[in-house]
Amino acid sequence: MLSWLQWPRVLLHVPLWCIVVVLAYFGTGCTNDTSASAQHKQTREDSGAPKPSKEDSGAPKSVKVARVEQVPMERMVTALGSLAAYEQATVSVKVPGRVQSIGVDFGSTVKRGQVLAQIEAQDYQLRVQQAEAALAQVRVRLGLAPGQHGARIDLERTSTVKQARAVLDEAKASHERSVTLFQQGVLAQAQLGAAEAAYKVAQSRYEDALEEVRNRQALLGQRQSELDLARQQLTDTTIYAPFDGAIQERRANVGEYLAAGAPVATIVRMDPVRLRVDVPEREASSVRVGQKVRVTIEGDTTLYTGRIARLSPTITPQSRMLIVEAEVSNPGSLRPGSFAHADIVVDANHPAVAVPANAIVTFAGVEKVLMVQSGKTVEKTIITRRRAGDWVEVASGVNVGDMVVINPGNLQSGQAVTVME
């Protein structure tokens, strides 16, 4: 066996013609193999043999198709916003005092007229008694019977006026007699003057009596108002819920002294709730009061409904948005402050190009349909919008009258199909 170092010495002793013959033999063999392969390939092409293909060369597949139609759908304006309590009030005390009891706490559900807290009422009960006594005193001075209303007082029937009236009548009669006697020459001039003076004094006292009774009438009204005020303050020691709702915050404790106007609790009305959203200026012209609203809340699959109740009179200059308020019925699961997604139905029968929902294939977030053209499937990418029952609106990709495959499954684009009736 020769090593690779000995081969050069061996080749020096081999005749040149032998080397040429060996090289010619190997060159002819390689050329014949290449020509044979090319000739075989050319023969297959000339004979019309089919080229290898990725498509199935079997019989056409039967499919069901549906026509792209124009379907009346709801046209909606989508907006984002938040929920707010329909009403919110901080309930405060009207009269100062020490808190005797509180009947609610954080999160409590309350009804309108329910007692929230009670202020110690003993001081106000004493004030009522004091006002009642002062009123009774004035009534006695006016000579009013129990239950008699002060506005129906006959001034002439009061004791003060009666007395002044009697004196006046006596002075008048005396004056008239004096005049008669003076005319007869029986009575002196001085005595006539004294009778006239007495008559004028009696008239003045009568007028003073009338004024005194009128003053007592006014005092009666004042004492009545003081009594009403004292009773109202006694009533105000009990704090009531102004409307149905829930306690958002409790702000006072038993035994605490509260000044007038000090807060006791914050109450919110939960049903309905206010939905406040911002609508872009380009969509603002189509939004009207009374339109239906569908609302969804983050983390809640329930669909809530409401109505547009109020529109802002102006567009916000900074954001170019129209503020819209709707009232949404609350079954108990909606909470003010929640983030909300709203669909405002601005047209209930807006014509839209739509395809059946079961004709849409979604892959990697891209929605497609397979159309039938010339006996083969053609893939079309579409952009969908809203859904109405079994139909889905298509914004672009297909036209009315196009035929799309229903339930395409693993059908591929370019595959031969036959349409089933």
Lowest mean pLDDT among 78-87, 112-121, 180-189, 337-346: 180-189
Burial code of 14-51, b = ≥16 C-beta within 10 A, e = fewer?
A: eeeeeeeeeeeeeeeeeeeeeeeeeeeeeeeeeeeeee
Predicted confidence (pLDDT) at residue 35 exceeds the cutoff of 60: no
Question: Does residue 361 fall inside a structural domain?
Answer: no
pLDDT tier at 126 (50, 70, 90 boundaries)? very high
pLDDT tier at 387 (50, 70, 90 boundaries)? confident
Question: Does residue 202 fall inside a structural domain?
Answer: yes
Question: Does residue 157 fall inside a structural domain?
Answer: yes
Residue 171: which domain range? 121-236
- Per-residue model confidence (pLDDT) at position 310: 93
Question: Does residue 151 fall inside a structural domain?
Answer: yes
Number of structural domains found in the chain: 1
Predicted confidence (pLDDT) at residue 250 exceeds the cutoff of 50: yes
- Per-residue model confidence (pLDDT) at position 262: 94
Predicted TM-score (pTM) of the model is 0.59
Alpha carbon distance 381, 396 (integer Å): 8
113's CB contacts (< 8 A; 6+ apart) are: 240, 241
Question: Does residue 375 fall inside a structural domain?
Answer: no
Q: Does residue 155 sit in helix, strand or coil?
A: helix
Question: Does residue 57 fall inside a structural domain?
Answer: no
Question: Does residue 45 fall inside a structural domain?
Answer: no
Mean of all residue pLDDT scores within the chain: 81
Q: Find where tokens 């108002």 sit.
A: 225
22-31, 219-228, 349-358: which has the highest mean pLDDT? 219-228
Across the strands, what pairs with 370? 379
Kindly give the interhelix angle for 189-236 and 122-142, rounded to the nearest 10 degrees.
Answer: 160
pLDDT tier at 312 (50, 70, 90 boundaries)? very high
Q: Find where tokens 């005049």 sit.
A: 179
Question: Does residue 33 fall inside a structural domain?
Answer: no
- Other CB atoms within a 10 A radius of the CB of residue 109 amount to 12
Lowest mean pLDDT among 86-100, 182-196, 292-306: 182-196
Lowest mean pLDDT among 19-28, 67-76, 237-246: 19-28
Q: Could you give the percent of the chain with pLDDT greater than 70?
A: 84
Judge contact between 56 and 376, C-beta under 8 A. no
Please choose, from the candidates 68, 394, 121, the residue with its C-alpha nearest in 3D space to the C-alpha of residue 234.
121
- Locate the DSSP E strands across 68-134: 69-92, 97-102, 109-110, 115-119
- Per-residue model confidence (pLDDT) at position 148: 64
Judge contact between 190 and 225, C-beta under 8 A. no
